[in-house]
Chains A and B, each alone.
Chain A
Amino acid sequence: MQELADLIQEYGSLIAFAGFALLTLGSAVLVVTARRVTHACISLLPCFIGIAGLYALLASPVMLAFQLLIYAGGIMVLMLFAIFLLERRAGPISSANHYVLPAGLIAGLTAITILGAVQSESFTNRELRPPPLELAPDADGPGGWYAYQDPQTRASAEQPASNVKRTGFYFLTYYLLPFELTSLVLVVAMVGAIIIARREKGWVAAGRMPGTAGSQESGAGPQASGIAAAAEDGEEARG
């Protein structure tokens, strides 16, 4: 029993890494192989949780929080809503299509290339150790698990101790321009999404045009005419 405790003490981070990696990769494989899109989307949740655990191992509580908030809480729910809106009548998607083999080849080659590059001495170097972490009981603020800090680093007004405060500090000082640009992009994207997804009379009418869905053989002709008709409908509706 003592040996087991020692083992955990010594290799705890490795064991945790193995667990999170298994969770992440296992559910990622489910995401790309599940036959129903709903199942694929729900499989994203354990994947994101595993990645959040990896961020904890990398001593980045800010990323952990945002991973759970934005990915697991926001993006995944958005995807689920879209699926509920769109996939009502759609049956299981066939995973056996003619793209699987070339896609597998390309992805496999990519994985092999990346893994080969990772073998390089500059990454596997044992000297490459992250600086030790310690809980800072005197950290600014009410102490706590987020107060990880590099012991070499003194906390000060300009260099707050905790990862969270430091991130906020950097965002509003050194990285002010990226911060503002990102918020601008966010606003533009949200307004654009609302405008694109807004229901317009002309487009709804076009949805009933024959030959617009699933007509692979007839090519672009009927679809193009459907769009043209839709545009005309739209103009009529507006005029």
Chain B
Amino acid sequence: MVIQQLGLHHFLALAGVLFAVGLFGVLSRRNSIAILLGIELMLNAANINLIAFQRYLAPSAGLNLVLDGQIFALVIITLAACEAAVGLAIILNVYRVLRTTTADEVSLLKW
């Protein structure tokens, strides 16, 4: 019996499925906050990919251990925090005006 060793494709497959789950959440949910939760899942999937690629593909460049993937991922985490803060502020304000957080009912900009 051949048991595979832990390889890059394991992480990529996991991140792909996680991304698809997050996409499903974003598309199927009607509550704005639940949509934001789905977006967080998708961002995390991207981060896993970045770190996995860094670990498996980048590091053997002699003395210079490349950390590009990790730097990218840290910047993405920061931007995710910004996105969550601004998104929740907008949802809060929308709730104040329209008394709802359901994305379907916020149709002011629809013609």
Q: Residues on A close to B: CB < 8 A?
A: 11, 13-14, 17, 21, 24-25, 28-29, 31-32, 37, 40-41, 44, 47-48, 51, 54-55, 57-60, 62-63, 66-67, 70-71, 74-75, 78-79, 82-83, 85-87, 90, 93, 95, 97, 99-100, 102-104, 106-108, 110-111, 114-115, 118-119, 123-124, 126, 128-131, 149-150, 152-154, 159, 163, 166-167, 170-171, 175, 178, 182, 185-186, 189-190, 192-194, 196-197, 199, 203-204, 206-207, 212-216, 219-220, 223-224, 226-227, 230
Contacts and interface: CB of A to CB of B under 8 A. Distances in A.
Contacts of B10: 17, 21
B77 A150 contact: no
Nearest to A85: B92
A54 B97 contact: no
Interface residues of B, number: 83
Interface of B: 3-14, 16-25, 27-31, 33-34, 36-38, 40-41, 44, 47-48, 51-52, 54-57, 59-60, 62-65, 67, 70-71, 73-75, 77-86, 88-93, 95-101, 104-105, 107-108, 110
22 contacts: A31-B25, A37-B33, A55-B48, A70-B78, A71-B77, A82-B88, A93-B31, A107-B21, A114-B19, A123-B7, A124-B7, A128-B8, A154-B63, A167-B67, A182-B75, A185-B78, A190-B82, A190-B85, A192-B89, A203-B96, A220-B110, A230-B97
Contacts, number: 282
Contacts of B52: 58
B38 to A, nearest CB: 6
A170 B69 CA distance: 12
A131 B78 contact: no
